[in-house]
């Protein structure tokens, strides 16, 4: 039932779970998969704290870290400040945000509100800082969510015996990953939540497997059951990279607003859209009034990384702080149509294993 990559990493099942929740990381890892902590919203200090918490609870089982080091963004390779980037944001986008919030009655943040960092992890420098913290711990995998990571990141991972993974939505990108020395290529179909391309996983995964030869490939996008994981292996992947399915598990409640959870549980597989409104790059997310406005006729258009995040970062905090349900959303893939109830991570993992075994048995019976 297992694959060469999963065995190499010490996994009982070839399932990789991207999540912002340290609790979900622990539960997936303890159940035999690999929990991968999404670090983009973490400061180095917070990442250190969370990894220490995880490491103390996984009994030596394997886990990983995901960061974001875009290949291209304004200011890459230059010495730029937040003030310099702020000055690059056009007034029409600022006015558009202000009008949207006013029309929905979203007030300013209170004076004592603790604001988050506008840039989050949208830079090579911050990604490298995440990696330095991560390598203090016995992690087994580092993943980069946007583009081929810099050579320095790959070298640092390999110095510590850690595999480097990178996501992609095109064969051309996969070949660039391989040429750079990436160990694991995540072929992410358009069904996936967050940043994703236009090609469906059923087409993309075998195309990339064929192109990259002996480099390990994981399939991502729309995977929320064991039978889908079995399908990934049938297409040549060595495992499944999952994300959206963990947004509605019980252990994720501390990372999920109650109104967003309600939206996720009620949504169908057709209730998502690829929009640039989060970061400036296409990212699949729930359809909301927010996405409709950014993609509508009155929109001034979105901006490149990192300006799009910066122009709307405080607006999003205001939306959530003041419970403006109409504008609230979340990155999520098309598997959201199957996410209809809150379940424990352990129960989802158990179903993954049972469904996977049943699917493999069905295929075996056909021979």
Residue 255: its pLDDT value, please?
85
Q: Could you tell me the pLDDT band of residue 367, with boundaries at 50, 70 and 90?
A: confident
Residue 256: its pLDDT value, please?
86
Residue 121: its pLDDT value, please?
52
Q: What is the pLDDT of residues 293-323, one digit of tens each?
A: 999 999 999 998 888 988 998 999 999 999 9
- Say which residue, 71 or 39, is predicted with more confidence: 39
Question: What gap in Å lies between CA 130 and CA 47, rounded to an integer?
Answer: 7
Residue 77: its pLDDT value, please?
55
Is residue 19 classed as helix, strand or coil in its secondary structure? strand
Work out whether the CA dihedral 310, 311, 312, 313 comes out positive or negative.
Answer: positive
For 43-54, what is the mean pLDDT?
Answer: 95
The yes-or-no verdict on residue 113 having pLDDT over 90 is: no
What does DSSP assign to residue 62? -
Q: What is the pLDDT of residues 60-105, one digit of tens each?
A: 999 999 998 865 545 555 556 778 888 889 999 999 999 999 999 9
What does DSSP assign to residue 184? E
Residue 127: its pLDDT value, please?
83
Residues 6 or more apart whose CB falls under 8 angstroms from that of 139 comprise: 51, 62, 63, 64, 65, 162
Q: Are strands 163-168 and 63-67 parallel, antiparallel or unpaired?
A: unpaired
Half-sphere CA count of 60, side-chain side, radius 13 A: 0
The yes-or-no verdict on residue 111 having pLDDT over 90 is: no
Domain edges within the chain: 4-73+122-251+343-365, 82-118+254-327
Secondary structure (DSSP) of 278-296:
TTSS-EEEE--HHHHHHTS
**List of E strands, 59-215:** 63-67, 141-144, 163-168, 184-188, 194-195
Q: What is the pLDDT of residues 206-263, one digit of tens each?
A: 999 999 999 999 999 999 999 999 999 999 999 999 999 999 999 998 888 999 999 9
Secondary structure (DSSP) of 208-248:
HHHHHTTSEEEEESS--SHHHHHHHHHTT-SSEEE-GGGTT
Question: What gap in Å lies between CA 325 and CA 72, rounded to an integer?
Answer: 33
Give me the architecture of the 4-73+122-251+343-365 domain, per CATH.
Answer: Alpha-Beta Barrel (3.20)
Q: For residues 278 and 285, is the Cβ–Cβ distance under 8 A?
A: yes
Q: Report the predicted TM-score, pTM, of the whole model to 2 decimal places.
A: 0.93
């Amino acid at each position: 039932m297992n694959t060469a990559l999963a065995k190499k990493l010490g996994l009982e099942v070839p399932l990789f779970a991207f999540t912002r929740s340290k609790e979900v990381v622990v539960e997936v890892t303890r159940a035999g998969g690999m929990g991968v902590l999404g670090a983009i919203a973490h400061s180095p200090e917070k990442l250190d704290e969370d990894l220490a918490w995880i490491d103390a609870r996984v009994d030596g089982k394997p886990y990983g870290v995901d960061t974001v080091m875009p290949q291209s963004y304004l200011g890459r390779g230059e010495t730029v400040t937040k003030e310099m980037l702020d000055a690059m944001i056009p007034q029409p986008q600022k006015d558009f945000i202000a009008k949207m919030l006013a029309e929905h009655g979203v007030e300013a943040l209170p004076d004592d509100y603790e604001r988050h960092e506008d840039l989050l992890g949208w830079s090579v420098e911050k990604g490298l800082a995440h990696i330095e913290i991560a390598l203090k711990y016995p992690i087994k995998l580092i993943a980069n969510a946007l583009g081929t990571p810099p050579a320095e990141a790959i070298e640092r991972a390999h110095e510590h015996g850690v595999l480097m993974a990178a996501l992609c939505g095109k064969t051309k990108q996969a070949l660039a990953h391989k040429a750079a020395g990436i160990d694991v290529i995540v072929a992410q179909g358009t069904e996936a939540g967050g940043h994703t391309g236009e090609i469906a996983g059923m087409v993309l995964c075998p195309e990339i497997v064929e192109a990259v030869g002996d480099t390990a490939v994981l399939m991502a996008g729309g995977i929320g059951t064991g039978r889908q994981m079995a399908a990934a292996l049938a297409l040549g992947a060595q495992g499944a990279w999952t994300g959206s399915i963990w947004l509605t598990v019980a252990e994720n409640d501390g990372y999920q607003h109650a109104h967003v959870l309600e939206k996720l549980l009620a949504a169908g597989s057709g209730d998502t859209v690829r929009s640039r409104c989060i970061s400036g790059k296409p990212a699949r997310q729930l359809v909301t009034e927010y996405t409709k406005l950014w993609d509508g006729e009155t929109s001034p258009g979105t901006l490149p990384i990192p300006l799009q995040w910066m122009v709307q970062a405080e607006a999003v905090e205001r939306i959530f702080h003041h419970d403006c349900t109409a504008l609230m959303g979340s990155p999520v893939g098309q598997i959201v149509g199957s996410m209809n109830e809150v379940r424990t991570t352990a129960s989802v993992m158990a179903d993954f294993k049972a469904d996977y075994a049943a699917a493999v048995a069905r295929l075996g019976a056909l021979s």
